[in-house]
Amino acid sequence: MAYTFPTLPYEQDALAPYISADTLSFHYGKHHKGYVDNLNKLIAGTELDDFSLEDVIKHVVGKADKVGIYNNAAQAWNHTFYWSSLKPGGGGKPTGTLAAMIDASFGSYDTFKAEMLKAAAGQFGSGWAWLVKNGDKLEIVKTGNADTPLTLGVVPLLTIDVWEHAYYLDYQNLRPKYTETVIDSLLNWEFAEKNLASA
């Protein structure tokens, strides 16, 4: 059973001017598609062929002979989650239950934002910054390369991709500017609310 390359939840120019159609064309059309294609080649004809993407990740994590499968499966999952973490006209402060949990966990939305910016900027090299639910509170975690909170026993709510291919065409080396722009103008709080509600 081959994994299907998912459709973007919006047009490739829908996140402009904050993330350009050129970036989406390369990031989604080349990088994300490459992870899905590589994964399908690696698991074809194996027992993993019938596993869900999440189960593949959990089954092979930490296995030295399955690093290639893990990296491509985790990156395929992370990217699909990232596209849903963004939306045209997004960003700003959340409302409702999520806003209350952010205040309870971080003290204020402004503190949450500062910690998210710090995590994204402080991730050395490629990786991800995540808002997750851990028990009864929210936390910010960062993961390197393909790593994903699916293996950490927490529930991911939102993510920001800080691999260079996510922002370099639009922001060059200004990762903090890209991250702040995503938080202020693109984060999909409705997606985070759904993830919180199903946790």
Give the tens place of pLDDT for each residue, 57-68.
999 999 999 999
Q: Please state the domain count of the chain.
A: 2
Could you tell me if 113 and 136 lie in one domain?
yes
Could you tell me if 50 and 108 lie in one domain?
no
Domain contains 52: yes
Domain contains 12: no
- Find residue 131's DSSP bridge partners: 140, 158
Could you tell me if 171 and 120 lie in one domain?
yes
> Taking 80 as the threshold, does the pLDDT of residue 1 lie above it?
no
Given this model, what pLDDT does residue 199 score? 81
Given this model, what pLDDT does residue 4 score? 94
Tokens describing residue 164: 């260079």
Could you tell me if 36 and 70 lie in one domain?
yes
> For 33-51, how does the pLDDT look when each residue is reduced to its tens digit (9 = 90+)?
999 999 999 999 999 999 9
Q: At what angle do helices 175-185 and 109-122 cross, to 10 degrees?
A: 150
134 vs 86: CA distance, rounded Å: 22
First-last CA distance in the chain: 28
- For residue 165, the enclosing domain spans 96-197
Q: Are 106 and 112 in contact (CB under 8 A)?
A: yes
Could you tell me if 108 and 134 lie in one domain?
yes
> Taking 90 as the threshold, does the pLDDT of residue 2 lie above it?
no
Could you tell me if 173 and 103 lie in one domain?
yes
Could you tell me if 102 and 187 lie in one domain?
yes
Could you tell me if 176 and 105 lie in one domain?
yes
Domain contains 10: no
Could you tell me if 80 and 151 lie in one domain?
no
> For 169-182, how does the pLDDT look when each residue is reduced to its tens digit (9 = 90+)?
999 999 999 999 99
27 vs 24: CA distance, rounded Å: 5
Quote the longest CA-to-CA distance of the chain.
50
Give the confidence band of 196 by pLDDT, cuts at 50, 70, 90: very high
Q: Which of 48, 64, 84 is the last residue of a domain?
A: 84
